[in-house]
Amino acid sequence: MDHDQKNAAKATDAATQAAAALSAQRQQREQQANAAGRAEVLVRDVPVRIFHWTLVVAVSAGLLTGFFGEENLLDIHVLAGQAVAVLVLFRIAWWFVGGRYSRLSAYPLSPRKALDHLGNVIRGRSPLTAGHNPLGAFMIITLIGLLLLISITGVITLGGEENQGPLKAFVPYWLGDAAGEVHEVLAIILLFAIAGHLGGVFMETVVFRHPLLRAMTRGTMPVPEEQAERGRFILRGLFVFGVVLVFFTGFWNVLEATPDTRWRPISNAEIYKANCADCHHAHHPSLRTADMWERIMQGLDDHYGEDASIDEKTARRILAFLQRNDALHFDTEAAVRLGRAKTPDLRISSATWWRLRHEQLPEAIYRTPKVGSKANCDACHLDAETGRFDDVNIRVPEEARQAVSGNS
């Protein structure tokens, strides 16, 4: 008897679950039928729609140049980052002054509601709402938060590593380098978040047939009239965006004008260039420390197989110039990574960081007439004489590329 009761209970549970599934499907069909019979009403204001698609372009440009672009595309990457930062700041402001469904107060940010909605999705139903559903609301917060952190770490990296941007005078190289690592990790997390967002959009539009894309293009949905947005808010959006843009531009330009104490322009002493630029360009003093310069100057009689001896007075003057401006007097990426790197043979190109940064270049390129040797930094770095070695100023001579490809 007990066995029969258990079987009956199982059968009852199965029937209940089947009925619930059929009910969910029926409710979904009824909702779609009702929606099909309703007039389209405005549910997304104009500024939030423009923000969304502009952000898609800016983020795409940032990710493509960051993950796949060459280093000399840094300017484009920074421009994309600036656009993202302005858009994110605008969206945060729009949370408080935007349209009905653009405001943060309209987001159903409840973990319980999010779990309930997830359960409904698993059971095959997702009610059409004029605003964001709980999972969508949490995803928006996640994406905006990630983009804000990526923008902040990007500015810190730009200042510390590249000696550019509004924080160049305030952020030391070590902090910029650390921020760069965080920046990359956050970008990878962003990719997963975007994948999750697109997965949610796919479920809503393809599985549940909700017109989300129409809502984010034309701004309308087939929902009851009382759920309609209260207006297009075009003028308000322009005003808020203008305020954000002025604030961001002012912040960037004012701080960027702050004198940079981590790098300073110097002119290579004529006596240094006259005696040390015959076989390769006269390296910026920040590419070696004072003690390494002293060892180099003491070994000029056998300077990598060449006798580069000069008189003692000239040698002292050159050494004094080099030591006054050595790697410890600069806080640039080149000074820290190359200048302070101790190499047994004193060569800059023997530093681990140099090898890592040049590993994609074939050895043959250094033997081409346009490059000549690994010591000729100015063949590819247009600002080598300044000691900055900015990524945007890297240009491998096309003749050298063609010569290498022609011989391979």
pLDDT in tens, 37-78: 568 999 999 999 999 999 999 999 999 999 998 888 999 999
Residue 308 per-residue DSSP state: -
Residue 267: which pLDDT band, with cuts at 50, 70 and 90?
confident
pLDDT exceeds cutoff 80 at 155: yes
Average pLDDT, the chain: 90
For range 220-229, the mean pLDDT: 91
Q: How far apart are CA 191 and CA 204, in angstroms?
A: 20
* The two three-digit tokens of residue 209, written as one number: 């047939």
Question: What is the SS3 assignment for 394?
Answer: strand
pLDDT in tens, 116-150: 999 999 998 888 989 999 999 999 999 999 999 99
* The two three-digit tokens of residue 78, written as one number: 């920074």
Question: What is the SS3 assignment for 45?
Answer: coil
pLDDT exceeds cutoff 70 at 16: no
3-state helix, strand, coil in the chain (%, to 5): 65, 0, 30
Q: How far apart are CA 73 and CA 79, in angstroms?
A: 10
pLDDT exceeds cutoff 60 at 28: no
Q: Would you state the pLDDT for residue 29? A: 47
pLDDT in tens, 296-343: 999 999 998 889 999 999 999 999 999 999 999 999 999 999 999 999
Share of the chain above pLDDT 70, in %: 90
Q: Provide the b/e sequence for 382-401 (b: ≥16 CB within 10 Å).
A: bebbbbbbbbbbbebeeebe
What homologous superfamily does CATH list for 27-256?
A: Transmembrane di-heme cytochromes, Chain C (1.20.950.20)
Is the model more confident about 3 or about 110?
110
Q: Would you state the pLDDT for residue 280? A: 82
Taking the alpha carbons of 224, 138, 144, 57 in that order, is the dihedral positive or negative? negative
- Of 162-166, 266-270, 361-365, least confident by mean pLDDT is 266-270
Number of alpha carbons in the 13 Å side-chain half-sphere of residue 8: 5
Q: Would you state the pLDDT for residue 17? A: 57
Q: Would you state the pLDDT for residue 30? A: 46
Domains in the chain: boundaries: 27-256, 270-407
Residue 400: which pLDDT band, with cuts at 50, 70 and 90?
confident
Q: Would you state the pLDDT for residue 256? A: 96
The rounded Cα 390 to chain-centroid distance in angstroms is 17
Residue 268: which pLDDT band, with cuts at 50, 70 and 90?
confident
Q: Would you state the pLDDT for residue 1? A: 46
